Structure 1
């Protein structure tokens, strides 16, 4: 699987405190081996998954036909689902 970041996700990452970035990127890289490790979301985010990297959340989707993991958002847990 290949990881792809949406343009808005790159903007989110620039706003995150630098001390959290290594843990976030490490968790995202682990998705290549276990893409289903995140929690399935419901409601308006149905079909997407959420990965906890305290205090942030990574929202992503899996596109198995293209072998892609699309990172759709990385934001603080209090803001991500708004």
Structure 2
């Protein structure tokens, strides 16, 4: 599957230090190979998944029709699950 970052996720990614960007890039490769390796979320985030890369979370959705992982948010764990 392809991995696509939303405008918001791209902005969040670009603001991170280079060391954190490198860690997140590695995690995105894992998501490309196995999109179901993250944790499925519930409640108001139902249908989304979360993938941990300490201390950040990658929030994403799996689009089966387009065969891609759509990353909507890359945020610090403390605020990752807030809308």
In 2, the alpha carbon distance for the partners of 1:32 and 1:6 equals 16
Alignment of 1:24-39 (within 5 A): 24-39=24-39
Structure 1: runs of 5+ lacking an equivalent? none
State the superposition RMSD in angstroms.
Answer: 0.9
Structure 2: runs of 5+ lacking an equivalent? none
**Aligned structure 1 segments of 4 or more residues deviating by more than 2 angstroms:** none
User: Which residue of the partner structure matches residue 11 of structure 1?
Assistant: 11
In 2, the alpha carbon distance for the partners of 1:27 and 1:77 equals 15
TM-score normalised according to structure 1 size:
0.94
TM-score normalised according to structure 2 size:
0.93
